[in-house]
Amino acid sequence: MSYDGSPDLETPVVPSTPTSSPAGRVRNTRQAGAVEAVLRAADGFRTAQELFAELRRRGDRIGLTTVYRHLSTLAEQGAVDVVHNGEGESQYRLCGVSQGSADQPDAHHHHVVCRQCGRSVEVSGPEVEAWAARVAAAAGFTEVTHTLEVFGLCPEHSA
């Protein structure tokens, strides 16, 4: 049964085989391809529920649990950007070429996200990176990671 209470309509490829490999990579399944196709078509950050609804609208027989599982694995791989909206709900978007070089597209980056429509812009934040490193070092921490989420209204939705 899906999180939304409807039956989980997905047909497992192999009933006892997980959809992610031991290394955490998403297997090349029909469901994984459908989730990635919907992410590619999205014009900004989308919640798992919104992606699930779009999959259903397209006629894809995939369960909400599977959507969440694929999004989680893609996030762990760094293949999707994840931000949290004002209600704390995760929103996902396929990573574009970020502030890194063309041969290093997975470079750490941040986003400014429209609260109204979800449109996002990738931004570099060398000042944030330097501050995070200083604060961590002063506290004796190493191998530190961080997230920074900036929300506002895009030009289209500004008064």
Q: What is the DSSP string of 107-159?
A: ---EEEEETTT--EEEE--HHHHHHHHHHHHHTT--S-----EEEE--GGG--
Is 100 within a domain?
Answer: no
| 8 and 86 together in one domain | yes
pLDDT in tens, 54-108: 999 999 989 999 999 999 999 888 888 888 877 788 989 887 633 333 334 456 7
How many structural domains is the chain composed of?
A: 2
pLDDT at 44: 78
Domain boundary, last residue among 42, 68, 95? 95
Clarify whether residues 89 and 115 are in a common domain: no
Q: Which of 61, 76, 95 is the last residue of a domain?
A: 95
Residues 114 and 48 in one domain: no
- Per-residue pLDDT band for 114 (boundaries 50, 70, 90) equals confident
Q: Is 122 in the same domain as 150?
A: yes
Domain end, chosen from 95, 120, 145, is at 95
Check residue 18 and give its pLDDT.
34
